[in-house]
Structure 1
Amino acid sequence: MKQLYYVIRTLLRGRGSNIIKVISLGLGLTMSILLFSRVAFEQSYDTCYKNYDDLYQIYSIFSAEGEQFEPQKQNCGPVAGAILENFPKEVESATSIAYFVSSPLYNGSVRIDARKILADSLFFKTMGIEVLSGNPEKDLMQNDVIFLSDDLAQKIYGGENPIGKVISYNKELQLTVKGTYVDLPENATMRPEAVISMPTAWSRGWGNYSWRGGDSYYEYIRFRPGADKEIVNARLDAMIQKYRPEEDKKAYGYTAFVKPIRDVYRDEDQVKRMDSIMSILALAILFIASLNYVLISISSLTYRAKAVGVHKCSGASGGTVFSMFLLETGIIIALALVLMGLILLNFQEFIEDTTAAKLSVLFAPDRIWVPLVVVLVLFIVGGILPGRLFARIPVSQVFRRYTEGKK
């Protein structure tokens, strides 16, 4: 208790420099934590799906006239189903989805703008998305069926049960709501608010669902737990050639491979480049803020040396002095965190626009380790380095005369 009393007295005595410390650390912590949290958010993409390590996305590679094009996420429609059929020991389920349903939904005369996709009956099983009501493996095999996310269902129908309700697509098609599912978080590359059955498109001739072009489908497969995933990539080209028409083989080349969905977003060049920039900037800011604190602390050595000597004359050990300085650093960091909280609260809208993510998402429980690690690093650097220096001050310092110099 006496240590806390002496620490508070020391802080009050040097309140001018301590205010500078709090402001410096508060700004440094705010920026570095926001940047590190954004990087962690980017790296957490597509981890919201159940057993996401078994979920893979299909990529297609086309070639023509001896030139091979870059891998693309759009595939010929039947690829996923063919993989499921040809690799039953390795693949548990597969799905194809399409995005060419951009027109709005209508509940009566009320327009509803929502993200929509077309999907087959194995969509929810393959992706590992929790279904709250309905039987998608049966219902999505029918024409004019739609599943709604829980939030969208609440938005349209309030507390009413949406099952059996009819909703219009572009005031042209009448879609029956057959089920609801859990909303996907912001760190998912695919976040549909409504899923329309694929037969709805097939029955009207929308799109080209065949091996002859029509590369408009995003496709995914789910491996069985413990399956050898390399087998599929090794044999996939031979499987595709088995299905392709001979005349198409002469015109252009086509093959495919599968990639873990966990790596799809974070392996994009733009994402890797931005994550590198933000990480370097966050480290630099944290390093500057930490050394700022250390240097301000060391600059007070001349007038605090005698106080340390007095403590040691009174029986305090080097460990006691060290713990007092750590306690002082902890209080300063706590005040800096309060300042950080005020900054986030007062500039929330600006920060969310700048980071392109809500603060509630950046500081979600599964990413709370990011600010904790940043604070811990700051505490270690800012507390231990000058703390050891002050703890080593000898008792004889009380009896020495010295003058303060800029060096």
Structure 2
Amino acid sequence: MRQLYYTIQTLLRGRGSNVVKTVSLTLGLFVGILLFSQIAYEFSYENFYQDPERLVMLRMRNTKDGIPEKGYNYGTYRPAAADLWEAMPEQVECASLTSNFFQATFYKDGKKLEDTPMLCVDTLYFRTTGLEVLKGNPNDLALMQNAFISQSMARRIFGDEDPIGKELSVEKMFNVTIRGIYREVPRNTNFPHEILLSDAVLDWGYGAGTWGTNNIYHILFRLKQPSDVDIMNRRVQKAVEQYTDPHLGESVVTEYSVIPIREIHRSQPDAQRKLLIMGVLGFSIFFVSVMNYVLAAIASMSWRAKMVGVHKCSGAGEGHILGLFLWETGILVLVSTVACLLLMYFFGERIEGMLGARLADLFTWSNLYVPLLTVLLLFVVAGALPGRMYARIPVTQVFRRYTEGKRSWKRGLLFVQFMGVAFILGVLLTTVWQYREVVSRHVGFQTERLAVGSVNGAIEENEGISDAIRRQPYVEAVACSSKMLLQHYSTNRLTDAQGNFLCPLHFMLIDKDFPKVTGLKLLEGAFPQHVGEAVVGKETVRTMKWQNNVIGRKLPIKPSWAGLQESPTIVGVVDDVRNMGFFNEQTCTAFIMNDRDRTFNVRLKEPEEENLRKLNAFVKEAYPNKMLEFSTYQEIREWQNESVSRFRNIVTVTSGCILLIVLMGLIGYVSDETQRRSKEITIRKVNGAEASSILRLLSAGILKVAVGAVLIGIAFSWYVSGIWMEQFPDGTLLSPGWFIGVGVALLVLIVLVVVVKAWRIANENPVNSIKSE
């Protein structure tokens, strides 16, 4: 208790210093805990399944001349579940097929239900995954008209009412009856769902999948033993060859393998890069926060050394002195932890929006060890390091200028802090620039004032919708297509003259007005005027090596489902449309004139936002039985690049916090230096030195530390930024000049802080300084 009493007295004496320490620790803990918890959260993806190490998913990728393509395709073919189970009964205990390809909007009594992700599954889904069925018979999922919903959705939609037997509308096209309830899945999954429909829905919408067609299914296997993963991977290729030919020409082969489901997320290169950079960010701010605390503790050594001496003269040993500092650090860490909890409480929604995860999911019992270890590590390092320094001060030197020997410590700590803030600001520059690029870069058509909406159902039922929209006074033009421009189009194998597979061709059906309304840029030839004519993108021309004579060629596809009895004739070449965004390489595209359209592209008049609201109000009133809602392409681009936006926001918050911590540490250091060198400054001024020379003297001392630290931090940020940019196939890293500019700006800010803080003592009358001695 006596140690606690002395600690409280010390804290009361150093109130100003303690505020700086508390703010520094709070910011470091706040951001560090969030980032480390997010990392642990993403590492726990798919761990909620029963015996997840025995649950695997089939995947495939193409190899050309023995060289595999980048990444795997986890969408495979419907018959693979039953066929491979039959081929490998020694390893496979159960198999199931699922798909999230079809994402419907659900309605209850005409009211749209929000946040209802779904999966289409077969009757063996629960047996394969081990998810708990609370009510109902999974065999009911054999029928298209039946559905299962999660326990949380049942409470949210129906309250205390029993949902069994109740109906929901799917896209206002057909109804499903709720036949069962299952325990909801956590959000840390690549396959979220609140409602399960029968896989018969996919048959109805896309046709029964076969080997080689409709690779929209996720095939799950429950193995008998975890070690069967390796055995299955050795056998699966030959097993597939029993049912289909994996060769796509002379040199291209589709390879099949399985992967434990909980390894899917962490095996993605984009996820690995994100986790790596988040770990570096979290460590940076945590380390800088601790170092700033140590710096503040060392800065107070000039007056606290006497207190330590008194304690040692009274018989206190090194352990007693160390205990005092641990008590002090413990109290400040406790206050900082409470402050962190308050910040999370008051800014919870913004934090969840930034991280893309609920705080309740981050801080589950299984992940609670992360914030606890973070707090414990902070307490041990921040308390033990300065505590050992004070504990080892000899009694004989307690009243001497012992702090002189600690200048190297303070400069070293400043060096680390400057390096950390330079690194963070360099990464911030990259993320801000890249987000600007992905949402504003040209995507092959004119997105300004262009809205899009799709409707399902029979094509004949949609007749007249485009004419009704076109007659509205706020609409400039309307055109129809089979898909929206920024999504995965229908695909067909693109082959060369010898039949060798080259790549998938992404194509859509359009009407005559589509190119003009959407602003496709014609590079050669003309736009389609008759059914069966097509324009292709530059990448298609390059891949097929048609540079000199593309007009008049036949596009080597013949999708009978689109009513095309012969291959489309190419009449023009357009600029490439970035339909898959900037996370993927440019696709081969084609736009074929046809009348099987269900997507409406509307060019609005100004003002865009107001007219978009009018358009949605009109279609809701005019077509209450249609699930038709319009969004602008700019909104769609922002939604598709939400992960980049979130990461940018994370880096921005981290940058702001670490910059504030470093500036507080710098201000404390300058105050300590001016106090320590007050006699020297006075003598210089008595000898005729001007205020500017004093400021240059202090600034030069800081710059000796800052320049090297900033150079290292900027260089490291340039390297890490290169890792971040690898997820954008044709993205380019900013030139080193931009990073150098950030470093120079940071050095200017550092000098400015020194000048402002030292301005008073540099301009003070030396007589006053002499009197105070």
Alpha-carbon distance in structure 2 between the residues aligned to 1:374 and 1:66: 46
Could you list the runs of 5+ residues in structure 2 that have no partner in the other structure?
405-672, 677-773
Which residue in the other structure is 2:234 paired with?
Answer: 234
Which residue in the other structure is 1:44 paired with?
Answer: 44
Aligned: 1:322 with 2:305: no
- The superposition leaves residues 284-340 of structure 1 with CA deviations (integer Å, 9 ceiling, x where unpaired) of 111111111111111222211221121122222221111111111111111111222
Which residue in the other structure is 1:119 paired with?
Answer: 121
Out of 120, 128, 131, the residue aligned to residue 129 of structure 1 is: 131
- Pick closer, same or farther for the CA change 1:401–1:268 going to 2, 3 Å: closer
Q: Is the 8 A contact 1:149 1:181 kept in 2?
A: yes
Which residue in the other structure is 1:147 paired with?
Answer: 148
Alpha-carbon distance in structure 1 between the residues aligned to 2:308 and 2:402: 17
Q: CA-atom RMSD, angstroms?
A: 2.4
Matches within 5 A, 1:382-397: 382-397=382-397
Which residue in the other structure is 1:353 paired with?
Answer: 353
- The superposition leaves residues 213-252 of structure 1 with CA deviations (integer Å, 9 ceiling, x where unpaired) of 2211111111113552211111111111111169988897
Matches within 5 A, 1:151-190: 151-190=152-191
Q: Is the 8 A contact 1:48 1:188 kept in 2?
A: no
Letter in 1 for 2:98: I
- Ranked by relative contact order (alpha carbons within 8 Å, sequence separation 6 or more), the top structure is 1
Q: Work out the number of aligned pairs and report it.
A: 404
Identity %: 37
Is the deviation greater in 232-241 or in 166-175? Answer: 166-175
Letter in 2 for 1:20: V
Which residue in the other structure is 1:308 paired with?
Answer: 308
Which residue in the other structure is 1:291 paired with?
Answer: 291
Alpha-carbon distance in structure 1 between the residues aligned to 2:378 and 2:67: 52
Alpha-carbon distance in structure 2 between the residues aligned to 1:4 and 1:220: 59
Q: Which has the larger radius of gyration?
A: 2
Q: Is the 8 A contact 2:118 2:195 kept in 1?
A: yes
- Pick closer, same or farther for the CA change 1:325–1:64 going to 2, 3 Å: closer
Alpha-carbon distance in structure 2 between the residues aligned to 1:231 and 1:392: 61
Q: CA deviation at 1:73?
A: 0.8
Q: CA deviation at 1:107?
A: 2.9
Matches within 5 A, 1:1-400: 1-62=1-62, 69-70=69-70, 71-113=72-114, 114-136=116-138, 138-202=139-203, 204=204, 206-244=206-244, 253-397=253-397, 400=399
Alpha-carbon distance in structure 1 between the residues aligned to 2:336 and 2:362: 19
Alpha-carbon distance in structure 2 between the residues aligned to 1:40 and 1:169: 36
Q: Is the 8 A contact 1:147 1:181 kept in 2?
A: yes
Q: CA deviation at 1:58?
A: 0.9
Is the deviation greater in 90-99 or in 19-28? Answer: 90-99
Q: CA deviation at 1:403?
A: 8.4
- The superposition leaves residues 69-94 of structure 1 with CA deviations (integer Å, 9 ceiling, x where unpaired) of 44201101111222211222211111
Q: CA deviation at 1:135?
A: 1.8
- Pick closer, same or farther for the CA change 1:86–1:249 going to 2, 3 Å: farther
Partner SS, residue 29 of structure 1: helix
- Pick closer, same or farther for the CA change 1:52–1:14 going to 2, 3 Å: same
Q: CA deviation at 1:394?
A: 2.7
Letter in 1 for 2:270: Q
Letter in 1 for 2:371: P
- Pick closer, same or farther for the CA change 1:42–1:327 going to 2, 3 Å: same
- The superposition leaves residues 88-137 of structure 1 with CA deviations (integer Å, 9 ceiling, x where unpaired) of 2211111111234433333333333522221111111212211111121x
Alpha-carbon distance in structure 1 between the residues aligned to 2:222 and 2:295: 55
Alpha-carbon distance in structure 2 between the residues aligned to 1:248 and 1:359: 47
Alpha-carbon distance in structure 2 between the residues aligned to 1:322 and 1:51: 47
Partner SS, residue 85 of structure 2: helix
Q: CA deviation at 1:141?
A: 2.5
Could you list the runs of 5+ residues in structure 1 that have no partner in the other structure?
none
Alpha-carbon distance in structure 1 between the residues aligned to 2:394 and 2:251: 86
Alpha-carbon distance in structure 2 between the residues aligned to 1:383 and 1:403: 20
